[in-house]
Chains A and B, each alone.
Chain A
């Protein structure tokens, strides 16, 4: 536990020192939301209907920037190798990084909600539930994203490889998070949100444990 808290302190310091990057990623996500509306046209009903999909696509695209950047600083001056030489388990390093990425992506998601409401007139009276879905969905992006970012940061063509590996894998997250958010915005007469949230939670549980187990193999070889 002390290993994890040390890893989290290191991540918090790292995030604080590169806080301008989070603002840049937010601008990227917001401009993606703006561009999606041009693809549909000025049809306010259609924009509102597709608003949840646009929000999650914007988050998914922006997540590749955040995730790729999270290991960039670890590669400079071989900082990751130095951390592995310390008496700390790789799983603690993984969970420190994954929780940090989850926090960043959740903040980004929360910040994009007002942009979505303004651009697509997609307000909801169940804001707490929507923020909960964002928390579950970004958890699903951050665990496999952190594992793949650790691999691709050490490979050639890292900008291409990360989305190539991550996007097919997170199809269930995109699908469940979009459906749950859409039901919260447009109405949920059949009470389906809970099922989609459960699917997200199952995906999160599987991937947070599996990626934590496999991370050691990725960084130790």
Chain B
């Protein structure tokens, strides 16, 4: 059986490295990097918000890749990886929305705005949460894997259409922040935290994928052999 339930040592290594880098990046962002001229200290949330947003898209793209691989290459490891990537992606997307809301209130004056990137992230959360719900309501592992792969492809293709439709409708969000668009005083904590969250995401996907693989192993295991028919003497012994 093509399952991905190897030893989790590499996942713990990535988790440890991710925590260390996150501590370093956050320290740099909070205490070393200067405050932004117009937004002040509020801007410091960018050091976790932007890397989380990048990694959210990476997680969903990986889930999409796993869905394609499951449908066209086959292999149960792709199903467990897809489930893990979707769950981690949903958690990261919720975090992005929460961090964005915390930043938006003092900056824009509102917790939420119908901006293309905000709205697309919210739609992504609901679309992938729906697929996770579908996985919970289908007992047959083959159907569950195939249907969620199909739904993942359909939802992922929807992302650019949602983005551009909302962009035509309304837009307020500033241009994307990248290390090239911000001053060199700001980009180191941004880079360090991007790798920190990437490593944490790899660790979480790897561990969650292992749990999914172990569950699949149980589900796909052949049923225990039926009890042998009892002979007349054995039946009499059993009833005695």
Residues of A bordering B, CB below 8 Å: 144, 147-148, 151-152, 154-157, 160-161, 164-165, 167-169, 171-172, 175-176, 179, 195-196, 199, 202-203, 206-207, 210-211, 214, 217-218, 221
Contacts and interface: CB of A to CB of B under 8 A. Distances in A.
Please classify the interface of chain B as helix (H, G, I), strand (E, B), loop, or mixed, using the class held by over half of its residues: helix
Contacts of B153: 210, 214
Contact of A168 (B127, B146, B147, B165): B127
A179 B170 CA distance: 12
Contacts of A210: 153-154, 157
Nearest to B135: A155
B130 interface: yes
Range for the number of chain B residues in contact with chain A: 20 to 34
A217 B154 contact: no
Interface of B: 71, 119, 123-124, 126-127, 129-131, 133-134, 137-139, 142-143, 146-147, 149-151, 153-155, 157-158, 161-162, 164-166, 168-169
Chain A residues touching B, majority SS: helix
Nearest to A175: B165
A210 B150 CA distance: 10
B131 A176 contact: no
A55 B80 CA distance: 41
Contacts of B124: 168
A168 B123 contact: yes
B179 to A, nearest CB: 32
B154 A169 contact: yes
B161 A203 contact: yes
Nearest to A218: B150
Contacts of A147: 150, 154
Contact of B150 (A167, A206, A217): A217
B134 A161 contact: yes
A41 B173 CA distance: 33
B153 to A, nearest CB: 7
A218 B168 contact: no
A172 B168 CA distance: 11
A214 B72 CA distance: 11
Contacts of A217: 71, 146, 149-150
